[in-house]
């Protein structure tokens, strides 16, 4: 029987790549997000396009508009998932906004929104689906982190939110260990990622994509297919004994390691 996966921020950018890749791999997918532009993002008016693509390819992909910070929206997503597919086996907490800024140039309202989307959102979605994962005698939660969670210049709110998500990942893995609910994190590392946040930073701030970057051991930047493949493994039956871990998809220099030999940045 196909597994059913709910993906926040799954209507654009890396999230869209993850949703399409899983659906094309035979998973039943519910992808949700907002159609309006968010801070430091170019994602807008993307929901209808993804719905059309899913229909053309006849994919098991339900596309919804919902705000991950709104508890009623999350409840509606969960209800629609159960109505359509009858169960929930996995969740991918991908929705995020990543404006640049230090303490003095980050407005309190923007700070609150970043924390709400990037940290409260995963909590709300996990809280809503855990009863359904328990009905399945277990399941998988995958959190999409960032190297900024270890601290990066001019990314205060974003870095704090992603650092909190790392703690959330570990705490959730411990809390639901006995219930066979595994909780893991993936991090797109190495820079040069042409995702919605990176492009949005370019548009909003004139900066975001480094001209030089570490990339990945594959000799190229990480892409949505790389992200999807790692997530597909973590939610599969091949990973039923793995919880509380972090898979760095790219280069882990942001976690304190040195620059890999032979790489010029």
Cβ-contact 204, 43 below 8 angstroms: no
- For 23, 86, 263, the CA distances from 83, given in Å and listed in that order, are 18, 6, 50
> Encoding tokens for residue 38?
């968010």
Q: How far apart are CA 113 and CA 67, in angstroms?
A: 12
What strands, in cross-sheet order, belong to the sheet with 246-249? Answer: 61-65, 28-33, 4-8, 90-93, 139-144, 181-188, 246-249
Whose tokens are 């946040």? That residue is: 197
Q: CB count, 10 Å around CB of 232?
A: 21
* Long-range contacts of the stretch 42-51 (C-beta < 8 A, 24+): 42/196, 42/199, 42/200, 42/203, 43/11, 43/12, 43/13, 43/196, 43/200, 46/11, 46/12, 46/16, 47/11, 50/11, 50/12, 50/16, 50/19, 50/20
* Catalytic residue status for 162: yes
Q: How far apart are CA 163 and CA 171, in angstroms?
A: 13
From the candidates 16, 37, 162, 212, give the one annotated as an active-site residue. 162
The residues annotated with a catalytic role in the active site are 162
């Amino acid at each position: 029987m196909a597994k059913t996966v709910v993906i926040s921020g799954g209507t654009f950018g890396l999230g869209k790549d993850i949703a399409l890749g899983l659906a094309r791999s035979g998973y039943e997918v519910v992808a949700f997000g907002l159609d309006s532009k968010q801070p430091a993002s170019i994602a807008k008016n993307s929901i209808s396009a993804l719905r059309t693509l899913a229909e053309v390819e006849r994919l098991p992909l339900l596309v919804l508009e919902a705000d991950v910070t709104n508890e009623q929206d999350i409840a509606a997503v969960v209800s629609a998932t159960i109505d359509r597919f009858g169960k929930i086996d996995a969740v991918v907490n991908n929705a995020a906004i990543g404006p640049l800024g230090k303490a003095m140039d980050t407005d309190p309202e923007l700070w609150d929104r970043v924390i709400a989307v990037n940290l409260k959102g995963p909590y709300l979605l996990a809280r809503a689906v855990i009863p359904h994962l328990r009905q399945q005698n277990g399941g998988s939660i995958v959190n999409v982190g960032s190297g900024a969670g270890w601290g990066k210049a001019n990314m205060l709110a974003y870095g704090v939110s992603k650092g909190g998500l790392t703690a959330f990942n570990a705490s959730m893995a411990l809390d639901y260990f006995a219930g066979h609910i595994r909780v893991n994190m993936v991090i797109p590392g190495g820079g040069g990622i042409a995702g919605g946040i990176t492009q949005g930073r370019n548009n909003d701030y004139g900066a975001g994509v480094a001209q030089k970057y570490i990339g990945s051991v594959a000799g190229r930047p990480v892409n949505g297919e790389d992200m999807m493949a790692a997530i597909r493994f973590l939610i599969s039956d091949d990973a039923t004994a793995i919880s509380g871990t972090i898979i760095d998809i790219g280069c882990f220099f942001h976690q304190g390691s040195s620059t890999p030999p032979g790489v010029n940045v």
